[in-house]
Structure 1
């Protein structure tokens, strides 16, 4: 049997639509059930059921003889299910609790003859029971076994820890745990324009309140670079924890370079600016530079002034002297550097590595430089820079183009190549009125690594383990330098070793051995003769000593102590020659 519906009013004139039952006079076994519709669990892990009801005190009935059974309690059940089920099987329902009232209705309410709500004075009991749930949904049910009860309302709910922001950490809405004592750990999310520094944690208690560790939340999220921390003191939390905060963008003209909460936005350093809000660094003004781009706090400085009046002072087929003037307004730590290029088939390439610069190519303290080792009748372009030592900043370059003089109409001739040992090559040529020579050579397979040697004489010795080389020669007269000879290929494997050199080497080796043998033959007899002379001298001295002792008393002669096994006295060279 189910609970019928009845309209009743309370003492406050509130009209209640109730589920009412009062089968206390029935002769049959009383077993009344009331089941709710199917409720979806949603995100709840624990639900709470609040019941508003009134119940009749059994001792207050006016006709006790008519009462067959009277109870002052009813039962609350739950049935969990993953899907909605219209069939009712009471054995599948789990008892939540036996519900008893603390206050009772003490008038004629409950009499079967009274079906009107007029004159009733209800006393409302409120009971709440909690239970953990884990399936998709559930039913609740009420069971009466002989009570006189009116079920005024049923409220089913679950508790949440409401979404909140503590400092820079936002915690979303979080359901409580399955049990009242459970604490649900929840990771917070850093607010806009902040990023995580340490994992922010919040703890949702069973009563729907948050618990936090303030020290951990304080450093959990940091404002990004370009944003500073701004605390909202008007939104202080009631529990005294950190107030809500935001990360505010740095205004134009200010910047913040670190990811932190303790640094404020700072004005841009000297000669720098920002384009937009929220800048992490400032840009240098046009014509200014920062020594180290990673040092955002450093000021921007200007580059040095370029050299003035760069000119060619002297030039020939192989060298050029360039000079310039130092600007009037310049610091005392300015040096100069040179970049040399020449044109090959219409394109500019760096000058060869063998070209030399006097006094140097970089860190030039003077206002001139001489470049040596150039090719004749060749177009060159030189860039001259001023460099500040303290900042290593370069000025704008000053370009200077020039063409070396044409070579004299004379070439080196009669070039001869000889191999004088396994890894030594001798190159000779005719002098032909030249007073200075230059040879340019390089490995056959690597034309980008050329070497240049200046020579006073018309020969060059090359010691190498490489097999193939190329080389060129040119000479200088009082009229200038000649053109380089055509490239000549030098192959160690194709050049025979000089026979005269081998013969001389063999003879020298044999002579050395003979000399060594002669030395052995001469020195040996001399050593033997010296030993014989020494023995004879010692024998003569000893003999004289013995004769002298015979002519003297025994006490005058030194004796040998045989008991001590050692010689008494000392005989040096002077003693031998003075005795006798």
Structure 2
């Protein structure tokens, strides 16, 4: 069969996927040019246009008329960085088999997601037997011939968890077993508790534990010109949220807390009211305020629509 998205070139519409949570951090952008089309695989790299005439790069396969399909698509090697638990977000469309005429049980409505850990790139070498299955992926919404006629292509978003990953990196692989499917995007990410400042203490980026039931205790360090009152601590949760703030820092003598930082207190505020130095400071302040209200020091100003005005 031909490309799945023929009508998209005439303005096919994609349903928008849910926005990703803010605490999720992009780990590695998967460019489709980095995908490896394996020997005898029926996946095709096809560029379509969305309703705004913007290119959409996809990988498509639709050999639903032939039995025993086994088509593989593999990513490039992905470094896991500091993370151990990885998340894979896939956006794809899938054709409803009942909407395809003359298909006698050879059409499928799922595909399989696999991975393998590795300390280095394997190049173009690929052995499916070394890969571990993550899950069978099905669509919440499949599209029909009627959707194609109306130029509507239903975009599904599925997220799967992978790990713990113990080696330096990994590969992902997608196995088609006879579906009519298009992979629109793949995003690989991990969760972290981001850098934050709480109670005048700084807490660094922190990766949660693999065990989602346990928290990571993190000790904070006081901001500049602050000192510990009680040991500042936060706990990093599995979803990348900071929990249970304990302790705090306080500003050192001569500093005051302003918007999460310690700023120096003016020495003149410590002078006795009415003292010569205090009065001199007040007079200088009034002169400065007057100059700010009249920045060029004019004693007269001319209104463009009237006579000179005293100020």
TM-score bracket for the superposition, by shorter chain length: 0.5 to 0.7
Cα pair distance change 1:47/1:38, threshold 3 Å: same
Give distance in 2, aligned partners of 1:182 and 1:58: 44
Shift of 1:195: 2.3
Give distance in 1, aligned partners of 2:154 and 2:70: 24
1:158 to 185, 190, 197: 190
Match of residue 305 from structure 2: none
SS of structure 1 residue aligned to 2:98: helix
Alpha carbons 2:256, 2:265 under 8 Å: kept: no
Within-5 A mapping of 1:224-239:
224=252, 226-232=253-259
SS of structure 1 residue aligned to 2:230: coil
Alpha carbons 1:73, 1:147 under 8 Å: kept: yes
Cα pair distance change 1:182/1:36, threshold 3 Å: farther
Alpha carbons 2:72, 2:174 under 8 Å: kept: yes
Is 2:81 the counterpart of 1:42? yes
Match of residue 224 from structure 2: 192
Give distance in 2, aligned partners of 1:129 and 1:168: 37
Cα deviations across residues 6-50 of structure 1 (Å, max 9, x unaligned)? 2334567654221111122124x2111110001111122322111
Within-5 A mapping of 1:559-574:
none
Is 2:234 the counterpart of 1:206? no
| 4+ long deviations beyond 6 Å | none
Cα pair distance change 1:130/1:63, threshold 3 Å: same
Alpha carbons 1:48, 1:156 under 8 Å: kept: yes
Is 2:127 the counterpart of 1:89? yes
1:7 to 41, 47, 61: 47
Shift of 1:81: 1.2
Match of residue 251 from structure 2: 223
Alpha carbons 1:8, 1:120 under 8 Å: kept: no
Alpha carbons 1:107, 1:120 under 8 Å: kept: no
Q: TM-score, normalization: structure 2? A: 0.66
Cα pair distance change 1:15/1:107, threshold 3 Å: farther
Cα pair distance change 1:206/1:14, threshold 3 Å: farther
Match of residue 509 from structure 1: none
SS of structure 1 residue aligned to 2:129: helix
Larger radius of gyration: 1
Within-5 A mapping of 1:375-386:
none
Q: How many residue pairs end up in the alignment?
A: 231
- Structure 1 alignment gaps of length 5 or more: 110-116, 233-243, 255-265, 269-580
Shift of 1:252: 3.3
- Structure 2 alignment gaps of length 5 or more: 1-39, 273-311
Give distance in 2, aligned partners of 1:175 and 1:30: 40
SS of structure 2 residue aligned to 1:207: coil
SS of structure 2 residue aligned to 1:212: strand
